[in-house]
Amino acid sequence: MGEAAYAVLAEHCDKRVQGINDAKARSLPLFVIQHPASISAGK
């Protein structure tokens, strides 16, 4: 994967994580379901 493609992927992932975090701030914990591996990676 080239640097330009990696930059696009990183931006996409950062926006997704930000969207999840925004949803957590607005929702009850039961409504925001994440994969256990994602939770572990965030620690």
What is the model's pLDDT at position 31?
54
Quote the pTM value: 0.55
pLDDT reported for residue 29: 63
pLDDT at 35: 74
Stretches where the chain sits below pLDDT 50 are: none
* pLDDT given at position 25: 77
pLDDT at 6: 96
Place of tokens 């990183």: 10
Return the HEC string of the chain.
CCHHHHHHHHHHHHHHHHHHHHHHHHCCHHHCCCCHHHHHHCC
Provide the pLDDT for residue 32. 59
Q: In this structure, are residues 32 and 24 in contact, taking their beta carbons and an 8 Å threshold? A: yes
